[in-house]
Amino acid sequence: MTKTILITGASSGIGAGMAREFAQKGYNLAICARRLERLESLKQELESQYGIQVIAKTLDVTDYDQVFVVFKAFKAEFGTIDRIIVNAGVGDGRRIGKGNFSINRATVETNFISALAQCEAAVEIFRAQNSGHLVMISSMSAVRGMPKHLTAYAASKAGVAHLAEGIRAELLDTPIKVSTIFPGYIRTELNEGAKKLPFEVDEKTGSRLLVQAIEKQRVKAYVPQWPWLPIGMAMKILPLKWVNKLG
């Protein structure tokens, strides 16, 4: 029986990239995001190219009630959801104390509170099934506090990582798996205008490596593993002024 993966934030960037990679592997897909026209285009592309089933639905993850409605609808239509990837998020952020609280608040709400809503909806489905794989997309910036425009973003992604670990702790003795993925810099629509970033990879490469890591169902994965695994270990102990150079 073909397995089904639900991906939020699937209309562009690594969300769409992961959908393409999983489609190539033969998974059916439940894809959702705010931009339905992009999702419909992706649906047509993947169904025609790989002969899989794709269902697309509009979802703004900051509409918390709608998160539950859409996840339950996907479950009803597919029967079983085998993996849910909590990917939707924003990369906005501004320096703290510069009059941009509303932007920073929106970043934290979208990346963390919305992730909590998605986890609640996902784990509810997995508990009922007594099976499933919850995947949380965090960030290498979550390893330490980061300066400048990354401060609120990094804090929100650290929250995502701790949320995932808490859920995993509760579900240790169940068939439900929880993975936390820490991507390094992946060049996507989200950051296309930014300066060249340390050790960055392109969207296709990043998406392929993310899917490889997710398929292994490890507790944690740094993507790409080289150089981010050793960098991540170093970031935990290096002086903050050195860590700042990655921001």
Active site residues: 153
Q: How far apart are CA 202 and CA 233, in angstroms?
A: 24
> Backbone phi, then psi, for 34, in 5-degree steps?
-75, -35
Q: What is the DSSP letter of 196?
A: P
One-letter amino acid at 73 equals A
Q: Which ranges in the chain belong to alpha helices (H)? A: 13-24, 36-50, 64-78, 101-108, 114-129, 151-170, 203-215, 225-235, 240-243
245, 150 Cβ separation under 8 angstroms:
no
Q: How far is CA 214 from CA 25, 53, 90, 142, 222, in A?
A: 13, 21, 21, 18, 11
Can you tell me the distance from the alpha carbon of 234 to that of 241, in angstroms, rounded to the nearest whole number? Answer: 13
